[in-house]
Amino acid sequence: MKHKFLIFALVFFMVGQGFSQSRLELTLKEAQDQALDHNRTLKNASLEIQKAEAARWQTLASMLPQVNVNLDYSNFMGYKLNFPGMAIPMNPSGDLTAQVALALSGAQLVGTQLSEIATKMAEINFKKTEQDIVNQVKTLYYSILIMDETVILLEKNLDNIRKLHQFTENSVKVGIADQTDADQLLVQIATMETTISSTRRSLEMLYNSLRLQMGAEISAEIALTQTIDDLLNVEGALQLLSADFILDNNFNYQLVKQSANLSKKQITLNAWAYGPTVSGFYQYTKKTYFGRDEGFNMTPPNLVGAAISIPIFSSGMTYSKVRQAKIAHEAQLNTLADTKEALAIQHSQLCYNLTSAFESYETQKKNIEVNQRILENISKKYEQGMASSLDVTTTGTNLIAAQSNYVKALMEVVTAQIELEKLLNKDNQ
């Protein structure tokens, strides 16, 4: 019976492990959607919108009537109020007071406008965070595919070098090659194995970063179902070069513009310190005595009041606050102008980067093909005794360098395209 229980527990554990280690097969669009649904940074940005909306309603609520109800109990412990010729008992009593009050000022009205701007900024920041996450997932997706392709290329080269090494070892045994040639190839094999291991570790780090962006478990297995050829759209990317740069579509510019509006409203808010505050209230009081008679009662059951408060002199404090707000607004306008110019310059630079990246990519793509053919040619000549092991080693090193340059050029194309799409606020999914 004990053995049956252990077997059942083991099966249950294995089944549980199978369910916990999920497998995600994802296209780029699916990976981005997964991140938009589960990314915690984006969830926090959404909470900031809710927080700003709650603050806006708090400001609006301050302009609505406020109602308070108080219950009081008093016991004078048998004390009597003595007047000439009479004694008035102070019996235990209780008061029920209900008050409705309302206070209005220009500062409250401006406060609602400030809250609306804050809400708009939170919404823009949410969209910007969405854009950043989509871009990060896209960069990681491409990086993983490129790194996978790099591993495949390196392993192919490693297989070729191993074959040459084995050929050299056989040649050494029959006395037609030196052991030094075999040793040189062995060193190159070890170097390439180290490079492949390092690349695989980098690849796993990229997968972990992608899991983090998508809010997936660290144990989740991820399989990317698209290839570089599927995703790399040369014509679509080059079309970005002729796309109009609409400044108001850029999220960074929108945020700076809203900040300028916010600083302008701060001037009005501080200026309203010169303005009056109007308030009014209605109060109803019900007094109940717990003694045998009513006792001394001077509390009116109904009370209405109104007031207007007009600031006369603040020793220059209000003037200083208004002046500070005007200076801050002027500085914000300068920042807005700088941002406008900087984004225009950035647009020109990113177009240049994308053009240069594509030119470099085309060159490196041809370069890797040429170096691949050279290595194959040198390998054949080496087998025929028409090339040395040094030629093979040098050619192999050149191919690895060409592969590295190709990967770098490909990533530059991806990065330049993503940055330009981000600036133009284009759909990059």
151: amino acid identity, one letter? V
User: CB 176: neighbour CB atoms within 10 A?
Assistant: 10
Distance CA 306, CA 157 (A): 90
Which pLDDT does position 427 carry in this prediction?
66
**Sign of the dihedral through C-alpha 254, 257, 259, 264:** negative
Which pLDDT does position 34 carry in this prediction?
92
User: CB 404: neighbour CB atoms within 10 A?
Assistant: 15
Average model confidence (pLDDT) across the chain:
85
Which pLDDT does position 292 carry in this prediction?
62
100 alpha carbon, distance to own chain's centre: 45
Distance CA 56, CA 76 (A): 47
Contacts of 231 (CB under 8 A, 6+ apart): 28, 141, 142, 145
Q: Helices 28-38 and 40-61, interaxial angle, to 10°?
A: 40
395's tokens: 């050619």
Mean pLDDT of 217-223: 89
**CATH code for residues 29-424:** 1.20.1600.10
- Per-residue pLDDT tens digits for 314-337: 788 888 989 999 999 999 999 999
319 alpha carbon, distance to own chain's centre: 40
Q: How confident is the model at residue 168 (pLDDT cuts 50, 70, 90)?
A: confident
Distance CA 159, CA 149 (A): 15
Q: Helices 28-38 and 179-214, interaxial angle, to 10°?
A: 50
| Residue keyed to tokens 């040639």 | 181
Contacts of 356 (CB under 8 A, 6+ apart): 416
- Per-residue pLDDT tens digits for 236-282: 788 888 889 999 999 999 999 999 999 999 999 888 888 888 999 89
